[in-house]
Amino acid sequence: MNRMSWRICGLVLLLALASGCGQKPGTAQPSGNEEPQVEQGAGPATNHQGSNNAENTSGETGTESPEQQTLSIKSYYTDDQLNELTEKEQTIRYAKDEDKYMAALETLKDSGDSELLPLWKVEFRSATLSEGMLTVDITLPDEARLGAGGEALAVEALQNTLFQFQEIESIELLVDGQQTESLMGHVELEHPMTRK
């Protein structure tokens, strides 16, 4: 009988645990007390996202119409053999004049054409123009590294894309905020690179 009592107690305990687990989602839905607690944690984020979305929507509407500018530029890519650069017309959008350089750099990351390969699979951290010199800071992940020919084409694509802006007289290319002798170990970088 003692064994039977233990089995019954174990079974009752197991049923209590199982029924308690089953009640948690049920009580969370109808209970008014638990929902606000969950929403307090998620609510502000949702509210902020909602307000951000509302702000973005109204902000985008406000900036797109009167302030959003578009510009047609030439960006440079290569073929699958890395033989030569090919220019492609791209349209960039930017709110402030100083944002157009980052927008132009971002076009180098994706050609939008399967036959034209982008040479810049980097993270462009900043692009700042001061007294005619554009300082471009990048982060160069391992998968973005190219051979000697690819590196030379990448630097040329960067120069061709940025020097079409008449106000840029020179380009200072930094990797993680530091000057480097070479971008990927093959082609020596000039500091700064000047318009030819």
Domain boundaries, the chain: 16-66, 71-194
pTM for this prediction: 0.61
Torsion of the alpha carbons at 172, 80, 90 and 134, rounded to the nearest 10: 0
pLDDT at 193 > cutoff 80: yes
- Most confident listed range (39-48, 51-60, 142-151, 178-187): 178-187
> Is the link from the previous residue into 30 a cis peptide, with omega within 30 of 0?
no
The mean pLDDT of 1-13, rounded to a whole number, is 69
The mean pLDDT of 44-56, rounded to a whole number, is 39
pLDDT at 21 > cutoff 50: yes
Q: Which residue has the higher pLDDT, 110 or 141?
A: 110
Judged on CB neighbours under 10 Å (0-12, 13-18, 19+), 4 is exposed
